[in-house]
């Protein structure tokens, strides 16, 4: 089940959200420093202490570029998004 996070907007595309799902362990809530992928644009955000998303720093972007777990989830998001667009024309 998605967990509630503060009402906010993706720092990349402005998509509004107030829920987060952990794809590895459904029972976990996000904590500071966790990485999330915007369902709308697929960009990675980092949770702050008050559970708002911020853009990764340049150093974090370099780390993400070689983070196999992140890259796997990004690929899964891409496949999900393509399926959504094919089925719903978005």
Shortest Cβ distance from residue 83 to Zn ion (Å)? 18
Instruction: Specify the pairing of strand 53-54 against strand 44-47.
Output: antiparallel
Please check whether residue 47 is in contact with residue 29, taking contact to mean a CB–CB distance below 8 angstroms: no
Within the chain, strands assigned E span 3-9, 16-20, 35-37, 44-47, 53-54
Shortest Cβ distance from residue 62 to Zn ion (Å)? 20
Residues 18-77 that bind Zn ion (CB under 5 A): 38, 40-41
Q: Is 15 in the site for Zn ion (CB under 5 A)?
A: yes
- Those residues whose C-beta lies under 8 Å from the C-beta of residue 34, and which sit 6 or more positions away, are 46, 47
What number of chain residues touch Zn ion (CB under 5 A)? 7
Q: Is 10 in the site for Zn ion (CB under 5 A)?
A: yes
Shortest Cβ distance from residue 49 to Zn ion (Å)? 21
Which spans of this chain sit near Zn ion (rule: CB under 5 A)? 10, 12-13, 15, 38, 40-41
């Amino acid at each position: 089940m998605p967990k509630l996070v503060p009402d906010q907007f993706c720092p990349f595309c402005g998509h509004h959200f107030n829920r987060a799902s952990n794809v590895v362990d459904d029972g976990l809530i996000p904590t500071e420093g966790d990485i999330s992928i915007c369902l709308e644009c697929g960009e990675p955000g980092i949770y702050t202490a008050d559970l708002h998303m911020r853009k990764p720093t340049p150093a974090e972007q370099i780390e993400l570029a070689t983070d196999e777990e992140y890259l796997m989830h990004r690929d899964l998001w891409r496949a999900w998004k393509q399926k959504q667009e094919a089925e719903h024309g978005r």
